[in-house]
Amino acid sequence: MSSTVIPFGPQHPVLPEPLHIKLVMEDENIVEAIPAIGYVHRGLEKLTETKEFTQNTYVVERVCGICSVMHAMAYCQGIEELMNIEISDRAKFLRVIWAELHRMHSHFLWLGLVADAFGFESLFMQTWRDREKVMDIMEETAGSRVVISCNTIGGTRRDLTKEQMAKIVSTVDEIKHDLEQLEAVFLNNYTVKHRLVGVGVLTKADAIEYSTVGPMARASGIATDLRTTGYSAYGQLDFEPITHNDGDCYARTYVRLKEVYQSIDLIKQAIAKIPEGEHVVPFKGFPPKGDVISRVEQPRGEVLYYLRGNGTKNLDRLRLRTPTFANIPSLLKMLPGSQLADVPMLILTIDPCISCTER
């Protein structure tokens, strides 16, 4: 049987960012997938070598806006380890609150894109309505809606008042009520299940072999979540990784939807347990020297920062590995054997962040 090569992307209605995959087809069946990346390379790693280490917090936040808080958290944790800076307990809880708000708005964005992909425009609008409530919280507490620049070396740039924390609790409770009304459509609707169940299966063994991370790994039955290592204030909060054993598009949808509930619970726990104290500590001494690896659980999975300081105000090297980069091999494993009509949904369910990957 003769094969046909069909280019998918970099422009496509379901792709929020440019990803190009050459699909080798036999009739409607995919037999091979060949990726082509590099459309949004901005040279940010090289840029960090020309900026002072205190300025790089702003640079890494621009790697990706949707998970900017986690990029800054990973970077700041690495610098703080190199400089032996111990941040306050209050700052640790504040970082968790803003990180989980970012996880919520990232997952809501993804749920809306998935709803749009299978043609449920009303569901898309209702999902993004709740995302707007999360972004309004970030605007009220940090002054911006996406790149909020609240993390800094030594703690956080801003604090939260009791009134702001009470407002956050009431808003996330309202969002939880809204999500309970939408959950049945995402998880029980016949049309949605027809598009998702059994599509793009990634077995647990394959997920391990391809080093899958984040919700993709958890949807294949692997209970991996860096938050369980206890960084920041997560060690003082109660939670278990959300998992599913089927490893298909439906399982990945289930995990991300349930993680919104988990983020709401973590935010409420953090606000209930947050201690009094300073939100930032001034630091003195020599600039960072040595090597360190800092890891954080982003909405899409583990992000890894490698930092090398030489004792001057500039770093020798900053290198990062993002979760989408780790998950693309799994996507290339799932595409062969699938139908052409399933490709948009398959790509969306890895929640690709190409800006993170290429930076």
pTM: 0.94
Phi then psi for residue 305, to 5 deg, are -110, 130
| 346 labelled ligand-binding | no
Residue 320 assigned to a binding site = yes
Would you say 249 is a known binding-site residue? no
Is residue 172 within 8 A of residue 318, CB to CB? The reply is: no
> Which pLDDT value is given to residue 27?
86
CB 295, CB 322: distance < 8 Å: no
Q: How confident is the model at residue 181 (pLDDT cuts 50, 70, 90)?
A: very high
150 is annotated as contributing to ligand binding? no
User: What is residue 1's predicted lDDT score, i.e. its pLDDT?
Assistant: 59
Asked whether residue 9 carries a pLDDT value surpassing 80, the answer given is: no
Q: Cis bond leading into 10, ω under 30°?
A: yes
- Mean of all residue pLDDT scores within the chain: 91
Contact 322, 302 (CB under 8 A): no
pLDDT reading at 104 higher than 70:
yes
Query: What is the C-alpha R_g of the chain?
Result: 21
Q: What is the pLDDT of residues 43-80, one digit of tens each?
A: 888 999 999 999 999 999 999 888 899 999 999 999 99
Q: Which amino acid is at 247?
A: G
Domains of the chain: 4-353 (1.10.645.10)
pLDDT per residue as tens digits for the range 205-235: 999 999 999 999 999 999 999 999 999 999 9
